[in-house]
Amino acid sequence: QMSTCMVKDTELIDVHPLQLHFSFRPNKIISCPFHVTNNTDDQHVSVRCVPRLPGADRYYAYLGHVCSVVPPRSTHTIVVTMRQLQQPPDNMDMLDIVVETILGKDYQSETNFKDARKENSRGFREVTLKAVCATMCEKTTSEVPNRH
C-alpha cells in the first residue's frame, strides 16, 4: 500500500509501505525500512520522521534525527530502528510514525516543518506509518525429511 501526495492532479511524493513491520526478538535491535519517492522534475523534498504519540522516543533509537532531502525523480530508503527491548510495547500505537514532507531542500529544521504545517504551505504533507510487530519464534527442533 502506498500514500501519494497529489497537488494539482500531479503525484508529487509517494511513501510506502504504509506499515512498519518489525520482527521482534527480545533484546535485539530491530530495523524497518520504508521509502519516500520524489516524483517532481525540479524540486527537492525534505523529509522528517516524528513519533505520532509522546513517549515513543523511548522505543526508537534516534527517531528525532531521522530526516532526509530527496532529490527530484529519486527514492530514498529511510530506516527506523527500535531499541533493544525485553518485550514489544503493549500498545503498538506507540510505535506509529508520522512522515512529514515539504518541498525544498533547506527545510530540515523543526521550525520550518512546524511553520509549513501551520500555514499549510510549501506542499506540507504528513503520512502516518502504522507499526506492526510480529514475534519471532525460535525453532527448537528441525524436521529432516526421511530419505530411503
Segments forming the whole domain that contains residue 119: 13-135
Is residue 144 in some structural domain? no
3-state secondary structure of 93: helix
Cα–Cα distances in angstroms (integers) from residue 77 to residues 34, 38, 84, 102, 111, in the given order: 6, 12, 22, 17, 24
How many domains, in total, are found in the chain?
1
- 104 Rama class: left (phi>0) / alpha (psi -120 to 50) / beta: left
- Rounded Cα–Cα distance for residues 123 and 13 (Å): 10
pLDDT (tens digit, 9 = 90+) per residue, 21-62?
A: 888 888 998 899 999 999 999 999 988 888 888 888 788 877
Dump pLDDT digits (tens) for 95-120. 899 998 888 876 666 777 778 877 87
pTM score, whole prediction: 0.77
In a domain, 82, yes or no: yes
Domain membership of residue 3 (yes or no) is no
The answer to whether the beta carbons of residues 66 and 36 sit under 8 Å apart is no
